[in-house]
Structure 1
Amino acid sequence: MSNPFPAALAPAPGRAGGLRSITIPRGRIEPETGLLDYVVRNDAHTWIRRGGGLVAFGEVTRFTTSGPDRFAEAQRWWRSELESAEVINGLSVPGTGLVAFGSFAFSKTSRHPSRLIVPEIIIGCRDGQSWLTYITDDADAELSAEAAEAVLAAYLEEVDPARAPHPEDRLAAGVLTEEQYLEAVAGGVRRIQAGELSKVVLARDVVAELGSPVATAQVLRELAVRYEDCWTYSVDGLIGSTPEMLIKVEDSTAQARVLAGTLDRAGAPADDPGYAERVLAGSAKQLHEHSIAIDSLTRQLEPFTDSMTSHSEPFVLQLPNVWHLASDVRARLTRDGGGEVPTSLALVEALHPTAAVCGTPTTVAGALIRELEHLERGPYAGPVGWIDAEGNGEWGIALRGAVIESSTRVRLYAGCGIVEGSQPQAELAETWSKFRPMIEALGLSH
């Protein structure tokens, strides 16, 4: 059985030399399941939406860092790896060639290690067409289609079993009890009413204590099938299915999806098709929260762009557990004097944290989060995704997810945007609606 524990708990493997890789086309992939056929090991790194994306196994090298310069330091390391790399790649497709998966701590004050990880084997899929990338630091390794397929086959020989519900499975309170979270929300509202800030995002955690080892691959498949409009991610023990794209870069174009404003679908009238639109778009509180989030992102992205477009009004995004007010942003990136556009990781550094996961003003909201939450967010609400050698990448915000702390202990996170009109009981209920994807995927109930 493959190791279900985060690779960060084990020492990094020794390096033999510079990175070497080969990418080969593999033809069309099964449309009904896409990459889910490869999500069979608990130690897989994944980035999947509607059957496409990336699934990876193994680890050739990694970089870890922390603090306010974590993004810049990670980018410098990635560039240094690329300088000495040998790459064979006949495909001009984002996500081919050398790729690193990444997860970054939410806070610049966090001691949680942010990381970039270069896997050994990657299966990718885009528009139904698939490819395979084999990466090694062995100067004598054969770079060929046969070698790549052999490495993949060796990983797929170890398939981790599914997990059935266990009578000892339970949900336990996290750092904050429900009562303490209500007090934190009330405190946030008071500070907003006092004029200190416009919005603060307050999170809480719950802990899944399992009676048998977690089946991470099974959880990821459940999430990917149920939440096909989200990006299902797994990086080093951080797992989930986020509806929010912080930034996606392909060549000279950047895209983002901003969410703020939430309505629980539980208990909604089944015979009222206009219910979500009316309640969300008709709520001054929800529209105010959304406008803060979209203004925050576009303001931070603007210096890097020649032009930018976004919805004039937010649309209602329907997910199995909730409805959200959502806006998609698309921008043409500005080229520097050398003809280069900013990499996806450079834009992550510029954009994080957005008002959607922190608040506004950012500095004031960040300090208030530390004061009221009493919670080490770690990678929760931080950027998660991948970057390739061309700087292309997809970085979501690590929401609707959890951290696997041991084989039988999983910590779940959820947060809410608090504005002047927020009601503590309603925000507490909203956290439960946001916990629901992970609770159900783990086979638990609340």
Structure 2
Amino acid sequence: MTPPEREALASARPAADAALVSRSREVSDVSFRAFLAARDPPRVHWASPGGLELVAGGAATRVAAGGPDRFASLRTDAAAVFEGADHAGPPGARPRMLGGLSFEPDHEPGGSWGSFPAALFVLPAVQLTRTDDGTWLTVARYDGDATPAAVEAALDDAAAALESLPMMRPSGGNPGVRGTRWRTPKDEWTDQVEDVIERIRAGGLSKAVLATALDVDLATEADVPDVLERLRRTYPECYRFLVQPIGGDAFVGAPPERLVKRSGDAVRTEALAGSMPRGDAPEADASHARSLLESAKIRHEQGLVADTIAAQLSAFGAVREGERGVRKLTNIQHLHTPIEATLEDDVHVLTLVEALHPTPAVGGLPLAEALATIRGTESFDRGWYASPVGWFDADGDGEFAVGIRSGVVGGTHATLFAGNGIVGDSDPDDEWEELQPKVRPLMDELASDE
């Protein structure tokens, strides 16, 4: 991205004389992968496990923000875009803002994150929505000349283009991996972990989540729609997302963890912490699950996460914690507690995101001390890693996942991210080994099948 493009993206704001007009129609089932591959950036994708799936290309408009007031700025600008919106179509196909935010509010685009400001959401120009009720095509325009007739004509054009797409898009092979390099080598990582353990034992800090990045050189250029399709097949129980702001690099992942979902006055979230591998046989798998449930260290770590999330949500309404159990994923399993709340007032989902991010599962406790430790220890830019990624609508409803099991992919290079929660009795070598399966979701889809 050129400096003028970066500046324009980071300062995206609603226009004073613009209006939002959108139209939807039901379409027969279509290959979301083929649709995504045929659209120009910005491209976005969102899928929740067993639920809503969105894929979109182009932008009717964008909103971006940075600094400590970025959430308030996003809410204000989005409200201006949605005000007086004219939408004809089912609620499931309504216009939504899709995007995410960086881990730190003062993030500046650069390096792997050159196309990613501190907060960016796209209201798509053309969008496919799949729900339990069917598949819908939506076209939106946001400008001073937007009229229902013009948008209907654009919807006709988009539908015709959709009909020309193949029902099934042949999947190319994985790009293959030429080489990898941890930005924090093992000896440096274990030194960092030992330093954090000393800080915890000295008092004032209970947990800090340290992360690192794996640079991957690819043998051929990665096809992002193909990567997403392989993630869908391998990790159907996870969220899946793509944010490609302008072209080139795309942030993509298959996180297991919901940050928060708001639907009216109902709020759902969860505490996910501690990990064990899956076993090769049922007996081994069950043994790993028992280890999660019986480990005093993991139960303590996960309990801290659950208690903190519940306390943060209690400011907005009555909170209920579900039964602690094990969440089993394709190659890893975690200790998990579902958490729900009933809102007392009309609270925008971005307000809930602001209250919860970063959770102890990706930051630490106490939060201020943990963040200071992370800033003083990590030697790379987290960018959007471990940050909120998701969508919201005109009513303030929405859903966000935590952007882990993720990476930036573009051309013949990828940067994959992983992190671990460090507590007082952590073992540095064990923590290093625990990092390895956390890059597998993307690494397996990039490495050659041979």
Same fold (TM over 0.5): yes
Deviation at 1:146, TM superposition (A): 5.8
Q: Could you tell me how far 1:99 is from its partner in structure 2?
A: 0.9
TM-score by length of 2: 0.86
Q: Contact conserved, 1:40 with 1:217, CA < 8 A, in 2?
A: yes
Unpaired runs of at least 5, structure 1: 336-340
Q: Does 1:137 align with 2:165?
A: no
Check the 8 A contact 1:229/1:243 in 2, yes or no: yes
Query: CA 1:365/1:319 → structure 2, altered by over 3 Å: closer, same or farther?
Result: same
* Pairwise CA distance, 1:217: 0.4
Structure 2 CA distance for partners of 1:273 and 1:413, relative to 1, 3 Å = closer
Which residue of the partner structure matches residue 338 of structure 1?
none
Q: Whole-Å Cα distance in 2 between the matches of residues 328 and 124 of structure 1?
A: 27
After superposition, residues 354-365 of structure 1 pair within 5 angstroms as: 354-365=359-370
In terms of mean alpha carbon deviation, does 272-281 or 158-167 score higher?
158-167
> Hey, what does 1:279 align to over in structure 2?
291
Distance across 2 between alignment mates of 1:224 and 1:291: 30
Counterpart AA for 1:390: D
Q: Which residue of 2 aligns with 1:101?
A: 98
Question: Residue 350 of structure 1: CA displacement?
Answer: 1.2
Q: Deviations over 1:47-74 (max 9, x none)?
A: 1133632111111222222222221111
* Equivalence map 1:389-400=2 (5 Å): 389-400=394-405
C-alpha separation between the residues in 2 aligned to 1:270 and 1:106?
Answer: 38
2:447 aligned residue: 443
Q: Which deviations, in whole Å up to 9, do the C-alpha atoms of 1:87-132 show, x marking residues without a partner? A: 2234344xx3221112101012322412111110111122242322
Change (3 A) 1:11 1:408: farther
Name the SS of the counterpart of 2:97 in structure 1. Answer: strand
2:194 is matched with which residue?
A: 186
From 206, 211, 215, the counterpart of 2:214: 206
- CA separation of 1:197/1:157 partners in 2, compared to 1, >3 Å: closer, same or farther? farther
Residue of 371, 374, 378 corresponding to 1:366:
371
Q: Does 1:320 align with 2:333?
A: no
Supply the distance in 2 between the matched residues of 1:392 and 1:261 (Cα, whole angstroms): 30
> Which of residues 117, 123, 135 is equivalent to 1:118?
123
| C-alpha displacement of 1:196 | 2.5
Q: Is the 8 A contact 1:101 1:387 kept in 2?
A: yes
Gaps of 5+ in 2: 110-116, 245-249
Aligned to 1:66: 66
Q: CA deviation at 1:370?
A: 0.8
Shift in alpha-carbon separation, 1:78–1:368, aligned structure 2, 3 A: same
Q: Is contact 1:87-1:98 (8 Å) kept? A: no
Q: Does 1:290 align with 2:336?
A: no
- For the pair 1:262 / 2:275, whether they are aligned, the reply is yes
**Alignment correspondent of 1:332:** 342
State the percentage of identical aligned residues: 29
Q: Tell me, what secondary structure is at the counterpart of 1:242?
A: coil
Matches of 1:152 and 1:17 in 2, distance apart? Answer: 28
The question of 1:175 aligning with 2:183 is answered: yes
- Distance across 2 between alignment mates of 1:40 and 1:156: 14
Query: Cα distance, 1:247 vs. partner?
Result: 0.6
Q: Is the 8 A contact 2:35 2:162 kept in 1?
A: no
Q: The residue matched to 1:357 in structure 2 has which SS?
A: coil
C-alpha contact (below 8 Å) 1:28/1:128 kept by paired residues? no
Aligned length: 426
Instruction: Check if 1:164 corresponds to 2:178.
Output: no
Q: Secondary structure at the match of 1:203?
A: strand
Verify the 8 A CA contact 2:141 2:151 in the aligned structure 1: no
Structure 1 residue corresponding to 2:256, chosen from 221, 231, 243:
243
Distance 1:444-1:24 versus aligned 2 partners, 3 A rule: same
RMSD: 2.9
TM-score of the aligned structures, taking structure 1 as reference length:
0.87
CA distance in 2, matches of 1:436, 1:385: 22
The aligned amino acid for 2:295 is S
